[in-house]
Every structure is written in structure tokens, then in C-alpha cells.
Amino acid sequence: MDDAARRHHHLGGVKRLIVKIGSAVIAPDGVPSPMAFAALAGQYAAIRRRGIALAVVSSGAVASGFRPLGFDRPPATMALKQAAAAVGQPLLMQSWSTALGSHGVTAAQVLFTAEDLSDRARYLNARRTMAELLDRGVLPIINENDTVSYEEIRFGDNDMLSALAADVLSADALIILSKATGLYADGDSSRVISTIASDAEDMAASHVRDERSSVGTGGMASKLAASMMSARWGIPTVVAGGHVPDVLTRVLAGEVLGTLFTPSKERMAARHRWLSGAARPKASIVVDAGAARALRERHASLLPSGVTSVEGVFDRGAVVMVRDPSGDAIAKGLTLYSSEEISRIAGRRSDQIESILGCWLSEEVIHRDDLAVL
């Protein structure tokens, strides 16, 4: 299959789309660009007329707000970044609302912290809310809630947020628009790698150079991480240049622009996508070599006999990281027992659980349906 045929295969039937826009595309040098917003709004209107529902993950709040605060470059400290975001977020939304309004499109502001999506109930509520907006023809403009976020509940950058948003909305594709026109071969901007398979992360990483725009927070490394994650989930992802004329409509038409990250053949189950992506572990369970091998190779359930220790305190139903004897993370899962209970049954057979705890909930510490191998 050649590149054009591959693009048509993966992108030709898209019905629900997430588009991520980098700060350097819409607010170069810290100044919102009306021309950029107008160009993107026109493409969104054209895409909507084709019956495609879409949501936008938009960077640019800090980039739009640091100059009104009197800075000549984005601030470095968290408090100043939050102040710039507080000033810039309404300016960002005003730019989107003006540009989209000329096409009769209503914009909605949706702000998240990582904690919002790490909690399963709040994650599902976010899915319902955004689905309702799309059903009513409203365009969600998604951003991290920078004003209230702190390090422990941050996504890190909007590239990762865009992959999580694609999961929340069960999107058919993700397009990440940036200053770069794709992943460059050996960092050479004249050579864009056309296609990367979902299992070729090490190869792709060898081409990444540590650089980012003057107003961005991610860089190609974060775009690669987000793209590989969404591709592993079964979501085709394209990284392309946001300044390329009509880039969105051309990518969806199958034109070979940017870098396509081809999806896994089977789409990961929704619960496993949430566990591997948005869910944040409360603590860790350490397992022996045999259990680690069973989890990695057979995606087996975790039995108490394979547990060697528990790190941290948690209740039943907590999200925990599962680590091998070397401390490497191998999976995330929802526990059926508390940390205190698991410590008591660690290394024991499942048929001993009731005699040790005085109750029996399950023979597994984590069932395979609640376990996502990383």
C-alpha cells in the first residue's frame, strides 16, 4: 500500500476528529494572529459541512497573556505562567469565537486538569458533556486549566491532552498542528517522515531533536509521545504544519502531508485506554518475575501469589502501578483489595484469601479486564 492509499484507508472514513493547535501556530511571538484563526475557522466550517464532528485542543493561553502582563517572553515560574494564562485564556476564546462566529459556529470553552480525567466518574461526565456539545453543533475549545493546575495534576503539555481528548470522545483521528511540518528524518526539516507504525517508537525517537518554539511548551518529543500513545490505542494520528494552507481539509482528503502514525490493528478497549492514559496511580504493587512475565506475555490477571510487596496506602478500587522486581512499571490497574488486605495475602494462594481476611471478594488482586499492560 503506497502512502496516498494508506492515508485514504485510515482517514477517509473519519466522522469524529480532534485537532490540536500549537501556540506557535495561532500566537507566534505572543501575539494572537487573526489571520491564523480565520484560516483555521474556515477549514473547520468546511469539515463540518462534510458531516464530521470535531473538537479543538487549543494552546495559546499563556502565549496570549504574557505580553499584556508586561513580559517580552513567556515566564518561567509556575505562578507567572498561571497569571499569564488567566489573562490570555479569555483573549484566546475571544479570538476563536470571533473567527468561528463568521461561519455561524458557536464555540464552547472546556478546561481540564489531569485530575479531572484521572477520576473515572469525572472522565465519563466529561465524555457526556462534550458529546452533547458536538450533538448540538457546538465546537468545544479544550485547554488545560493552567490557572489552577499545579505540578501534580498537570498534563505536562497539550499534546498529551489532545491524545486523551481523542480517547474521551472516541475520535476516529487526531491531527496535531505545529510549527514543524512533521517528524523530520534525522532532524532535517527538508525530509519529513511520511509514516510511522504504532510499534516503531524507538525508531521514531531516534529522529527527534530537543527543540521547541519560543512560545510552546512541548516540542517534537511530546508530539511523538502523544502520537504513539493514540496510535497504540487504535487512533490514526497526523502531525503536520499548522501554517500549511488548508492543511486540515487536505490531510482528511488523503493528501500526503506531515507524518501519519498508523494505528494498531485492534482498537484498545475504552476502559484499558483510560487506565493506560488518563488514570493516575495512587501507589504501587511489586510482583515477582513469574507474575511480571504472565502480565507482559499473556495479559493475565494478577493473583496474590505473584505479589511481593505494596508501596503506599489505598482503598479497594484504587488505580495502582504494577512494577516488576527491578521497579520498572509494567501495568496499571484497579485493585479489588485495599493495600492493607493485599499486604496480608501477598505471596499466598487465592484459596487462602478468605481464611486470612475473613472475607472473599475475588481470587484476583487485579482482574485482567481492569489491567492495562504498558
CATH 2.30.130.10 in the chain, residues? 281-373
- Give the model confidence (pLDDT) of 176-235 as tens digits: 999 999 999 887 778 899 999 877 777 777 787 766 555 545 588 889 989 998 998 899
- Sign of the alpha-carbon torsion through 7, 12, 16, 17: positive
- 43 phi, psi to nearest 5 deg: -70, -40
- In a 13 Å sphere around the CA of 38, the CA atoms on its Cβ side amount to 4
- Give the model confidence (pLDDT) of 112-152 as tens digits: 887 788 888 888 898 899 999 999 999 999 998 866 655 54
- Give the three-state DSSP class for 283: strand
How far is Cα 239 from Cα 308, in angstroms, rounded to an integer?
42
- Give the three-state DSSP class for 354: helix
How far is Cα 359 from Cα 148, in angstroms, rounded to an integer?
42
- Give the model confidence (pLDDT) of 344-367 as tens digits: 999 999 999 999 999 899 999 999
- Sign of the alpha-carbon torsion through 255, 256, 259, 264: positive
**Of the options 3.10.620.30, 3.30.230.10, 3.40.1160.10, 3.30.565.10, the CATH number for the domain spanning 3-272:** 3.40.1160.10
- Give the three-state DSSP class for 284: strand
Of the candidates 93, 75, 92, 96, the residue with the CA atom closest to the CA atom of residue 84 = 75
Lowest mean pLDDT among 8-17, 170-179, 271-280, 356-365: 271-280
**Of the options 1.10.3720.10, 2.30.130.10, 1.10.10.10, 1.20.1250.20, the CATH number for the domain spanning 281-373:** 2.30.130.10
> Region 45-53: what's the mean pLDDT?
92
- Give the model confidence (pLDDT) of 324-339 as tens digits: 999 999 999 999 999 9
Give percent above pLDDT 90 in the chain.
56
Q: Is the pLDDT of residue 253 over 80?
A: yes
Q: Is the pLDDT of residue 153 over 50?
A: no
Neighbours of 79 (CB within 10 A): 9
- 41 against 274, higher pLDDT: 41
